[in-house]
Structure 1
Amino acid sequence: MLSTPFTATLTLLALALLALAGHCFVFYPLSLRLFCRKAPKPALSPALAPRPSLAICLSAYNEEKVIVAKVERLLEVARAYGPATIHVYADAPSDRTVALLEPYADRIDLVVGKARAGKTYGMNLLVERSESELILFTDANVESDNGCAVELARPFADPTIGCVTAHLIYSNRRESPTSAIGALYWRLEEAIKRIESHTVGVIGVDGAMFMLRRSLYQPPPPHLIDDLYLSLRVLIAGARIHSADHVRVFERSAVGAVEEKQRKRRIACQAANVHRVLWPELRRMPWLQLYAYLSHRVMKWLTPFFLGAGALCLIAAVALAYGAAMATAVVAAGLAALLIGHSLEVRPFSALSSATLSLAGVAAGVLESLFTRRTYTVWDPALSIRAETLSLNHGKSGGPNAR
């Protein structure tokens, strides 16, 4: 048995690594609340004022379960907004997506790809085909109120605002342990975005629904994911990203743990690719924004590595303090809990298992980006995220009085 000081050093190192793992979700938002001056609220245009022209862009692959309801809702969104056009790119779907879209060809700008080229390629093409001051990006499986575009456009009356994002809520958190973990994680993300919006500005957006000034649009390379790339470009340009927290949009979280692991792997790889490409410009941002970017958008993807290293240090400390047999018993108990959770879906072990698989997916995706340069230009969406139809029954989720 080694000396107690060495055991204490390992324990302190483990605690430091665990603190780094929690920085993005605990210490970073706390630091913004405690030490950052509140940013002035953006000047909103009057609700009935003339609105800037808008292009609504949607890239879809195999979306036969939701595409009709989505287009119907976008038509309502466009009518409520006024000067808006709808542009849909079908990325060579293998299901009935195109057949379901064709009856709308007289009301939307429909482009059908002959071969799969990916979401980003499709979005770039749609933006090229449109002429508008603002661009709204959304995903096929996202539910919204018909007033969402009206509310997202209002902060653009403030010339410092370059992008406005909606508040995403996962609607099926009670469906499985995996969807519950996914919904909890996203509630944390939205809470961080809300704090950022009131201080340094939101650091990057997700693709569920966001609006962008055309003047700030720089076409992403087709192999990079568009939402993160475009929103980080807004920051590089010196503009702010605002979270319209009252504009609620809804989508389903993945239900199966293995399915969610693969999804997290893809997203982490795509994010790491964007960070590598934009880092030479991002590192020149003002120090406060750079701190926010590193804390939220970089350290988040390093969480599984901090947790893994911290766990190894704790196990080593246990082995030194209590012997190898005790350390082996701790490892065996942890593995048994994961196995019970994954195989038997017994709570709370099932939640622990789902979270561990998601973190493993994140780690795999980051390593994939760094060492194999994989891009995920095209991918198949998780099946459980697509319900049979979009229910569109969340009431006034995008209205000005939504809470």
Structure 2
Amino acid sequence: MTWVCAIIAALLLVLAVHPFLIYPLTLRLFPRRPLAPLSRDGTYRPTLAICMSAYNEARSIRRRMERLVEAAEVYGNATIHVYADGPQDGTIEILREFADRIDLIVSYERKGKTFGMNQLVARSTSDLLMFTDANVLHDPQVIAPLVAPFADPDVGCVSARLIYSNADDSPAAATGAAYWRAEESIKAIESGTVGLIGVDGAMFALRRDLHRAPPPHLIDDLYLSLMVLAQNKRVVNAPDALVYERSATAADEELVRKRRIACQAINVHRTLWPQLRRLPWPALYGYISHRMLKWMTPFLLAGAMLFALPVAIALLGAEAVVLLAGGVVLALAAGHALHIGPAQRIVTAILSLAGVAMGVIDSVAGGKTYAVWAPAESVRD
């Protein structure tokens, strides 16, 4: 039985690390899929509708709108559409300062980001749709490199490259930034082989004729990009289209954020699985590896620890295992309380995994949607 438990624990651990270590290595075995020649001189500029939803963003929305207007003017063939989702902090009044440059929809009750984005898409007529968040910043030249890959007719969706700008603010921010750097590294390989398996909502664009309005209770970025895959079009990244965002600076904020994101992701996966299971096998492999297994990581790790427990007891004895486990817990708790960086980063990672597990349970057992939410306050600073 000890050997059986050891083998099961090892298999569960392999599955847990597969999305982060094994999957990117196996992607190098797939043939590269270069894009068709792009319009590198910047003349490829189809019409573009920029869509953004805003909640309580009064602290940063003026600067955000100034950057967005500047980017649209540099691109030259873009309209800006903004949905105000029931803000109560003066966001609406600030947005109205840009009334001569934007198409503004104001809702005095919260209906959710996806509901608002669907309204904005319906009011626009452009060839391409660009979606972006209200808490990101970027250079004025960001749109042209984001649009360039659409010169390849097989490309249906393009994602910008997100960088967390406040890694030095706290151990929690450093942990979040390190995780996202690893994600972007995987996406860079993924983009040129099996294609991106979903995008981040910070900034991405897709062809209007591939847009399928998501149900209001589902998160739009993952739904829209997976629907592009389901229509047999490529999803790629634009490494030169850089956007910057703040990561949560407190571990408890990161737990709440991971819980919401995991729940929203699982809701999308459950809804789209009938279409996604018919993907070509390379994309299906990427989907299972990078999306489905990733959200199972906390359960796989917990299972590996559970099956490793009798092995450790057989090797060390029950008393030694209890003392060792208790010592680790006390050391982490003390290190976190004393603001020791390595301990704080480990605790943040554990809380993030706990948040993912809670989000999966919220979706499967609780039926939650998180159609509306309040972003972490530290992200808005």
TM-score, normalised to structure 1's length?
0.93
CA contact (8 A) 1:14 1:313 kept: yes
1:211 to 205, 210, 221: 205
Distance 1:174 1:42 in 2: 39
One-letter amino acid of the structure 2 residue matched with residue 25 of structure 1:
F
One-letter amino acid of the structure 2 residue matched with residue 57 of structure 1:
C
How far off is 1:315 after superposition? 2.3
One-letter amino acid of the structure 1 residue matched with residue 31 of structure 2:
R
Residue 11 (str. 1) matches residue 12 (str. 2) = no
Partner of residue 92, structure 1: 86
Unmatched 5+ residue regions in structure 2? none
1:105 to 99, 104, 125: 99
Distance 1:52 1:216 in 2: 15
Residue 343 (str. 1) matches residue 337 (str. 2) = yes
Residue 67 (str. 1) matches residue 28 (str. 2) = no
Residue 164 (str. 1) matches residue 158 (str. 2) = yes
Partner of residue 248, structure 1: 242
Residue 321 (str. 1) matches residue 320 (str. 2) = no
The C-alpha deviation readout for 1:237-273, integer Å capped at 9, x for no partner, is 0000111112111100000001110000000000000
| Secondary structure of 1:348's aligned partner | helix
How far off is 1:233 after superposition? 0.2
Partner of residue 136, structure 1: 130
Partner of residue 176, structure 2: 182
CA contact (8 A) 1:254 1:385 kept: yes
Partner of residue 393, structure 1: none
Partner of residue 232, structure 1: 226
CA contact (8 A) 1:42 1:161 kept: no
2:39 to 28, 37, 45: 45
Partner of residue 21, structure 2: 26
Partner of residue 326, structure 2: 332
The C-alpha deviation readout for 1:26-50, integer Å capped at 9, x for no partner, is 10010011x2001122331243425
Distance 1:30 1:110 in 2: 45
| Secondary structure of 2:32's aligned partner | coil
The C-alpha deviation readout for 1:336-389, integer Å capped at 9, x for no partner, is 1331243222131111111000000000000110001100010001100112xx
Query: C-alpha root-mean-square deviation of aligned residues, in Å?
Result: 1.1
One-letter amino acid of the structure 2 residue matched with residue 353 of structure 1:
V
Residue 360 (str. 1) matches residue 354 (str. 2) = yes
CA contact (8 A) 2:44 2:151 kept: no
How far off is 1:180 after superposition? 0.8
CA contact (8 A) 1:263 1:382 kept: yes
CA contact (8 A) 2:114 2:214 kept: yes
How far off is 1:198 after superposition? 1.1
CA contact (8 A) 2:210 2:228 kept: yes
The C-alpha deviation readout for 1:138-183, integer Å capped at 9, x for no partner, is 0011111111111111111110000111110111111111111100
Distance 1:348 1:83 in 2: 48
Moved more, 331-340 or 197-206: 331-340
One-letter amino acid of the structure 1 residue matched with residue 11 of structure 2:
A
The C-alpha deviation readout for 1:264-289, integer Å capped at 9, x for no partner, is 00000000000000001100111111
CA contact (8 A) 1:204 1:228 kept: yes
Partner of residue 221, structure 1: 215
CA contact (8 A) 1:7 1:321 kept: no
Distance 1:303 1:147 in 2: 38
Moved more, 270-279 or 327-336: 327-336
Distance 1:174 1:8 in 2: 44
CA contact (8 A) 2:42 2:144 kept: no
Distance 1:159 1:379 in 2: 36
CA contact (8 A) 2:44 2:148 kept: no
CA contact (8 A) 1:92 1:115 kept: yes
How many residues get paired?
381
Moved more, 23-32 or 303-312: 303-312
Partner of residue 399, structure 1: none
The C-alpha deviation readout for 1:102-155, integer Å capped at 9, x for no partner, is 111111111110210000001000000111000111001111111111111111
The C-alpha deviation readout for 1:73-127, integer Å capped at 9, x for no partner, is 1111111111110001000101111111111111111111021000000100000
Partner of residue 277, structure 1: 271
Unmatched 5+ residue regions in structure 1? 1-5, 388-403
| Secondary structure of 2:137's aligned partner | coil
Distance 1:248 1:173 in 2: 16
Partner of residue 288, structure 2: 294
From the superposition, tell whether residues 48 and 324 of structure 1 become closer, same or farther in structure 2 (CA, over 3 Å).
closer
1:83 to 77, 82, 89: 77
Moved more, 308-317 or 115-124: 308-317
How far off is 1:10 after superposition? 2.1
